[in-house]
Structure 1
Amino acid sequence: MSNAIRIHSFPLSGHAHRAVLFASLAGIKHDVIDVDLAGGEHKSEAFLALNPAGQVPVLEDGDAVVCDSNAILVYLARKYAPSYLPTDPVLEAEVQKFLTLAAGEIAFGPAAARLITVFNAPLDVEFTHATAAKVLGKLDAHLEGRDWLVGAAPSIADVAIYSYTAHAPEGGVSLEPYTNVRRLLANIEALDGFVPMPRTAVGLQAA
C-alpha cells in the first residue's frame, strides 16, 4: 500500500489543481484520487465523512484530513516544503494576503467567469469580468519589477493564484493586457515539477 498522501481531486477544478500542483512542485509523494462530481461521488457517505462540505480538494495524510485548497497549501508547506512559506512575519503576512486574494477576488472574478462558460453556472458575466479586470490589474501592478509575488523565491502565494489566473481565457477574460501576470505564470510553468491543469474545449479556443 502506498505511503503517499492522497489528494481527492477533480481534473477541471482550479482549487483541486493548486493542491496537486504544489505537491508536485515541492516533490511531495502523493496519489491523486479523482472524484466523480458528475456522478455525485462528492455527495456520497464515504466522501462526506472526509469533507462534510462535499467539495474537492481533500488531503489525507495518515490520520490528518485537511479540506480547503489554501489550508492544504499551508499544511503541506509547513510539514514538507517550508521554503514555500516564509517565516519572516512581514513576508508571511504578504503570503496570507495573496491567499485571501485567491479565495476572494480571483474566485469571484476569473474563476467565476470560467464557471459560466465551462459549467454553465448562473452567474453575472459583467460582474465576474469587472472583478477579474480589477484583480488582474492589481496583480500586474504588484508584479512590476518582481519575479514572484512575495520575496525573491516562489511561495504558496504564487501557487494559490496560478490555476484560475492561467485559465482566465476559458472564462472570456484575456490576459493580453497583463504582461507581468503572464510573466509570473511563465515563471511558475518553468519550475521543476510543474503539472498543468487540463484545458477545456472552451479554453483551447480562447487560449
Structure 2
Amino acid sequence: MPAAQPAQPIKLFTSLLSGHGHRVRLFLTLLDLPFEIVALNMKAGDNRQPEYLELNPFGQVPTIQDGDVTLFDSNAILVYLAKRYGDPSWLPDDPLGAAAVQRWLSLCAGQIAYGPCAARLVTVFGAPLDHQTAKNIAVKLFDVIDRELAGKQFVAGEHVTIADIAAHTYIAHAPEGGVSLEPYPHIRAWLRRVEALPRFIAMQSTKAGLLAD
C-alpha cells in the first residue's frame, strides 16, 4: 500500500499506445493510487492544442496533474510518485542504489529511446526515423543488458524499482518495432518477473503498420 493517498484522483494525460505514458499508468496502478486518464488523440493534434501546451509546452505525453502539481516527462513523474506516494524501495536513498536506478533511467532516455522505442515509432506510427539504425541500437543494447540480467532479479538489483517500470514497456514491445527478443533469455525472464507484480497492467499490443523488412 502507498504511504499516502492523493486528495483527489491524479489526472494522467496520455495516449494509450504511448510507452512513456504506459510507464506512468503502470506505476500508478502498482501503487494502487486513484487516477483518471485523459486520453489524447495525437494524430488529431490534441497534444498541440493551446490548453494542453499550457500544461506541457513540449506537447508530449504523459503529463500528470496531482492537485496543484503539474508535471511532465515520464521518468520525472516516476521519481515524483515514488517519493511522494511509494515505498522507499522503489527509489533507494543509498548512494549505490540511487546510482543504479539513475543509470537505468539514463538508458531509458538514451539507448532505449533511440533503439526499441524509435524502431516501434517507425513501424507502428510511421515516424520518419531511420529504422535500421534504431534496430541496430536496440540489438547492441539488448546484447549488453541480457548478460547483465543473468545475475539479477531486477535491473537495479534484487528488488523492483522505478528503473524496471521505466525500462519495461519499450523492451517488452520491441518485437512491434521489428526487434526480436528470442535471442535474449535473461531479458525475457526479467520481463516475466515484472509482469508477475501484483496489479501489473500491460500496454495494448499492436501490429498496425509493421514493416516487412
For the superposition of Structure 1 and Structure 2, which TM-score range results when normalised by the shorter chain?
over 0.9
Q: Return closer, same or farther for 1:205/1:22 CA change in 2, 3 Å cut-off.
A: farther
Query: Helix, strand or coil: the match of 1:151?
Result: coil
1:48 paired residue number? 53
Aligned pairs for 1:96-135 within 5 A: 96-135=102-141
| Amino acid of the structure 2 residue aligned with 1:89 | P
| Unpaired runs of at least 5, structure 2 | 1-6
Segments ≥4 residues shifted beyond 3 Å: 202-206
Question: For residues 202 and 39 of structure 1, what CA distance do their matches in structure 2 show?
Answer: 17
2:4 paired residue number? none
Q: How many residue pairs end up in the alignment?
A: 205
Query: Helix, strand or coil: the match of 2:129?
Result: coil
The question of whether the paired residues in 2 share the 8 Å contact of 1:170 and 1:203 is answered with no
Query: Helix, strand or coil: the match of 1:201?
Result: coil
Corresponding residue to 2:199 among 161, 172, 193? 193
Aligned pairs for 1:23-102 within 5 A: 23-81=28-86, 82-102=88-108
Displacement after TM superposition at 1:39 (Å): 1.5
Aligned-CA RMSD value: 1.7
Displacement after TM superposition at 1:129 (Å): 1.0
Displacement after TM superposition at 1:127 (Å): 0.8
| Amino acid of the structure 2 residue aligned with 1:45 | P
Question: For residues 198 and 166 of structure 2, what CA distance do their matches in structure 1 show?
Answer: 17
Corresponding residue to 1:6 among 7, 11, 15? 11
2:171 paired residue number? 165
Q: Return closer, same or farther for 1:202/1:45 CA change in 2, 3 Å cut-off.
A: closer
Q: Return closer, same or farther for 1:55/1:30 CA change in 2, 3 Å cut-off.
A: same
TM-score of the two chains, using structure 1 as the length reference: 0.95
TM-score of the two chains, using structure 2 as the length reference: 0.92
Question: For residues 62 and 10 of structure 1, what CA distance do their matches in structure 2 show?
Answer: 21
| Unpaired runs of at least 5, structure 1 | none
Displacement after TM superposition at 1:28 (Å): 1.7
| Percent of matched pairs sharing the same residue | 47
